[in-house]
Structure 1
Amino acid sequence: MSNMTLQQDASSEAQDIVAGLMERARTAQEQFARYTQEEVDEVVTAVAWALVHPGRNEAISRMAVETTGLGNVNDKITKNQRKTMGLLRDLRQAKSVGVIQELPELGLVEIARPVGVVGAVVPSTNPAATPTNKTINALKGGNAIILAPSPKGQQVCAELLEYMHAELDRVGAPRDLIQQLPAPVSKATTYELMNQVDLVVVTGSQNNVRSAYSSGTPAIGVGAGNVPVIIDDSADLKEAARKIAASKTFDYATSCSSENSLVILDGVYDSAIAALEQSGGAMLTAEEKQQLEAAMWEEGNLSRHVIARSAPEIARLAGLTRPALENAAFLMVAEDQVGKEHPFSGEKLSPVLAVYRVEDFDAAFTQTHRLLDHQGKGHSCGIHTEDESHIQRLGLEMPVCRVIVNQAHAFACGGNFDNGLPFSLSMGCGTWGENSISENLNYRHYLNITRIARTIPVDEPSMDELFGGYLSRYGLASS
């Protein structure tokens, strides 16, 4: 049998598999679309409880670490709980069924309508928190959802789905509102899912994001992270170091919002490094840096053996035996270059930080821009400072959708209880990151909104109102 025939058979099988899931999803969604806001919110709460339930959360978190080899159990428990509870906080008063807004002065009434069936591609780095977040947002809008986990995360997703189905049973909602691709999850079924659903939302592989955009289905993808954070000469160094350490070590840096580079002003550099070391960081020598680089990248690609592993584990893998590294919370390497030939300047998905020393804030701005131009453009940057002008300049000029100020970046970027960003695990990066959204993915992205338009008193400006000032300054144009 030819390769072409095998590919056609695989494609046909994938079409049939997804078509079966879609038929069940559409039936369930048609029933769900008749739910009231109160009934929808009860379903949303039930599905959230499926993961937040302490016993289930611990079991899922242990399974996630055991099957993917990524992160650590305690942090995953915390992440699953906080991300899900934060999302419920965001959704508590949100209207997503029927009339959601009336604007009588404009003669407009806005009505929320489901998009239908959502296909959600989710990564192995957060195999429980991300699918739960997307599922809750989809359900909030009255949709059904079909999950496409990564092969590593498939077992976790299947277990999570059982918990969700048990909660749907308790509230009398159709189980087929939430489904997943059957094991073994393949590229063929994932891509076919993208073709058949009404909306695709993708977090993770940029190859999957590009495939979603080219599928012909409306798609929302998010960009890659490579977060640079500035420490300027007005920063509270001890507090900055504490927050950076907490963020960088959380779940062994599985988050795309984890700091990857620090850009530190010369005047506070030595003191900042000392504070970071007191918070558990270990600065490597030039020779150790070289050894670490050889271990972390294989033929230009980040080794799967270092992703989301502890700092001591990574040090041992690199053959670094200095006693100070055995208890290090994170590793630091001094860097002054950016680009493919300098891999520490990119995303590392591990508790490893590149550290840049710069003369002043202008140099810090330039260095941060260079890092983002290399990788992570559009995602976010951070700053530890008391200088409002520095914050404003980043917001006005840096090509990012989020500027995180004096916060632990991995916690703050995806929404936190002490900032106003929506709780999410998917960060839109705008046109800078070749994304269609520039905000945290949230429930409104899972809605169609119908607008009823009625007449209002005429508001038609005169020519003089619109052009009078312009013509008085410049006169009539020459013929």
Structure 2
Amino acid sequence: MNIIDNDLLSIQEARILVENAREAQKKLAAFPQKKLDEIVERMAEEIYKHARELAMMSSEETDYGKWQDKYIKNQFVCEYLIKRLRGMTCVGIISDDVQNKTIDIGVPIGVIIALCPATSPVSTTIYKALIAIKSGNAIIFSPHPRAKNTMSKALEIMIRAAEGYGLPEGALSFLNIVTPSGTSELMTHSATSLIMNTGVPSMLKATSNSGKPVIFGGNGNGPAFIERTANINQAVQDIIASKTFDNGVVSAAEQSVVVDRCISADVKREFQNHGAYFMTEEESQKLGALFFHSDGCPNTEMVGKSAQQLATRAGFIVPEGVVVLISEQKYVSDTNPYSKEKLCPVLAYYIEDDWMNACEKCIELLISERNGHTLVIHSRDEAVIRQFALKKPVGRILVNTPATFGSMGATTNLFPAMTLGSGSAGVGITTDNVSPMNLIYIRKVGYGVRKAEDITNGKLIEEVHSIGDKNQSTEYRLEDIEMLKQILIKAIDSH
């Protein structure tokens, strides 16, 4: 009897993929931006032809969300992202400051390992492939087991298109035999430069222990605060549109609503008018008991289900037309399922006396899962908005916009991204909407503009004094220059 050890086969395949990617990336690094752009355009053009089919396939394979909304996400990365990428220079000379005689040169980071979520497998895969090649990097995907067939098909389409247009073989690839051991080998291989983990928290420990830089798009759990000056009708419509999109699987979508007490009755009425159902305490307990297993792990079978399906599973009936389930809560705690991320159309609902108390409640919610992903504030009071922006431990703050669409750059001018950094708690190297510029390093070039003796004879000190009124950091700079002066004096004296 032949026994096949998939772990060993996966590890072997991973090593081959990374070694091939390393050699391919060396060739890719010599490509000018124009050639990289041509390949990226061809990839997007070809995968767009299959956007609808892949949306349907991913919804069927994963049983998450709505294929119609996944189709919108696929279109978004094939069309809108591509428009934003056009004209962006990532490699070669990206900045030439003639006046100050400095040059910035973009250099690809190398070989990237990509993990994508089963909740948005196609759009995230397309997006990562496009921004990696745009910036001259090789990228290897470890498909999510729940979306393996869909992701593999999407990658095969893009690989054929890209290699047909000159992409070196191996620069874009994926693991066929997917096991934790194989994925670990991809991440820890000496030739791997960076790991992009989007929405796969189960692999966070492994990515963190890999010894490589990690870009982590993690759990959301973002609150939305409706402040007393907000346009209540618009705020409610935004939250419902966001939370029902793809049945709530987007991590950036609102998880809780915090409401100013003086408008709470109006807000509740508006939610009910737009298809929200406020559960009784008993109904909340029944539903809340289904979100997590006894060991604390999320119940994936609750992910991406409609409000009607969720209510049925919890054993109660809601009227036709209900699209969001709301649980009224008072406290945030580790044992409260409504204090945590719920990737489905369910919201926790808190009422606070004023914006200061709401501010504290939002902080509690953000730190309850420690990742500090996204916060939304609906308000017309710019002073309150600024206070929220200054105080919140969060990667991005959105103002008067739906979280799902605002975070990904559809209803805001943030970069159009399917990986939203949530590293404000020290997880990951960036909180950006990740773009090709996060996948390069900058080589600095500085021309000499003054002589060493200018340091020792005080001319540089005079120069800094002359611009002191224009630069608030002059005191700090003078200290630096004085230190530099002493170093140079010693260096010159020694010669």
Fold conserved between structures, TM > 0.5:
yes
Q: For residues 444 and 355 of structure 2, what CA distance do their matches in structure 1 show?
A: 47
Q: Does 1:434 align with 2:405?
A: no
| Match among 419, 439, 444 for residue 446 of structure 1 | 439
| Match among 226, 232, 239 for residue 227 of structure 2 | 232
| Match among 24, 29, 37 for residue 41 of structure 1 | 37
Q: Does 1:352 align with 2:341?
A: no
Tell me which residue corresponds to 1:477: none
Quickly say closer, same or farther: Cα 1:26–1:301, change in 2 above 3 A: closer
Aligned amino acid, residue 295 of structure 1: L
| Match among 167, 190, 213 for residue 173 of structure 1 | 167
Task: Provide the secondary structure at the position in 2 that maps to 1:217.
Answer: coil
Gaps of 5+ in 2: 466-473, 480-495
Tell me which residue corresponds to 2:487: none
Aligned amino acid, residue 249 of structure 2: T
Gaps of 5+ in 1: 1-5, 472-479
Q: For residues 241 and 77 of structure 2, what CA distance do their matches in structure 1 show?
A: 17
Q: For residues 229 and 433 of structure 1, what CA distance do their matches in structure 2 show?
A: 23
Q: Does 1:74 align with 2:68?
A: yes
Q: For residues 116 and 342 of structure 1, what CA distance do their matches in structure 2 show?
A: 43
Task: Provide the secondary structure at the position in 2 that maps to 1:85.
Answer: helix
Deviations 1:53-75 (A, max 9, x none): 2xx11111111011111111100
Asked whether the 8 Å contact 1:376–1:433 carries over to 2, the reply is no
How far residue 116 of structure 1 moved from its aligned partner, in angstroms, is 1.9
Quickly say closer, same or farther: Cα 1:382–1:433, change in 2 above 3 A: farther
- Of stretches 244-253 and 170-179 in structure 1, the one that deviates more from structure 2 is 170-179
Q: For residues 22 and 370 of structure 1, what CA distance do their matches in structure 2 show?
A: 42
Task: Provide the secondary structure at the position in 2 that maps to 1:301.
Answer: coil
Q: For residues 451 and 464 of structure 1, what CA distance do their matches in structure 2 show?
A: 22
User: What TM-score comes out, normalization by structure 1 length?
Assistant: 0.90
Aligned amino acid, residue 348 of structure 1: K
Q: Does 1:193 align with 2:189?
A: no
User: What TM-score comes out, normalization by structure 2 length?
Assistant: 0.87
Asked whether the 8 Å contact 1:226–1:376 carries over to 2, the reply is no
How far residue 419 of structure 1 moved from its aligned partner, in angstroms, is 2.0
Q: Does 1:143 align with 2:123?
A: no
How far residue 32 of structure 1 moved from its aligned partner, in angstroms, is 2.4
How far residue 357 of structure 1 moved from its aligned partner, in angstroms, is 1.1
Q: For residues 354 and 288 of structure 1, what CA distance do their matches in structure 2 show?
A: 13
Aligned amino acid, residue 92 of structure 1: R
Quickly say closer, same or farther: Cα 1:314–1:438, change in 2 above 3 A: same
Tell me which residue corresponds to 1:374: 368
Tell me which residue corresponds to 2:260: 265
RMSD (Å) for aligned C-alpha atoms: 2.3
Structural mapping, 1:378-417, within 5 Å:
378-416=372-410
Task: Provide the secondary structure at the position in 1 that maps to 2:302.
Answer: coil
Q: For residues 464 and 349 of structure 1, what CA distance do their matches in structure 2 show?
A: 54
Q: Across the two proteins, how many residue pairs are aligned to each other? A: 457
How far residue 205 of structure 1 moved from its aligned partner, in angstroms, is 2.5
How far residue 95 of structure 1 moved from its aligned partner, in angstroms, is 0.6
How far residue 467 of structure 1 moved from its aligned partner, in angstroms, is 6.1
Task: Provide the secondary structure at the position in 1 that maps to 2:145.
Answer: coil
Quickly say closer, same or farther: Cα 1:419–1:467, change in 2 above 3 A: closer
Asked whether the 8 Å contact 1:168–1:175 carries over to 2, the reply is no
Aligned amino acid, residue 303 of structure 2: I
Q: For residues 179 and 402 of structure 1, what CA distance do their matches in structure 2 show?
A: 32
Q: For residues 400 and 116 of structure 1, what CA distance do their matches in structure 2 show?
A: 29
Asked whether the 8 Å contact 2:289–2:337 carries over to 1, the reply is no
Q: Does 1:318 align with 2:314?
A: yes
Q: Does 1:252 align with 2:269?
A: no
Aligned amino acid, residue 24 of structure 1: N
Quickly say closer, same or farther: Cα 1:467–1:282, change in 2 above 3 A: closer
Q: For residues 443 and 327 of structure 1, what CA distance do their matches in structure 2 show?
A: 42
| Match among 24, 47, 55 for residue 28 of structure 1 | 24
Asked whether the 8 Å contact 1:379–1:402 carries over to 2, the reply is yes
Task: Provide the secondary structure at the position in 2 that maps to 1:82.
Answer: helix
Aligned amino acid, residue 319 of structure 1: G
Task: Provide the secondary structure at the position in 1 that maps to 2:408.
Answer: coil
Q: Does 1:301 align with 2:301?
A: no
Asked whether the 8 Å contact 1:138–1:443 carries over to 2, the reply is yes
How far residue 105 of structure 1 moved from its aligned partner, in angstroms, is 3.1
Deviations 1:331-377 (A, max 9, x none): 11101111122111110111000000111111111111111121254
Tell me which residue corresponds to 2:483: none
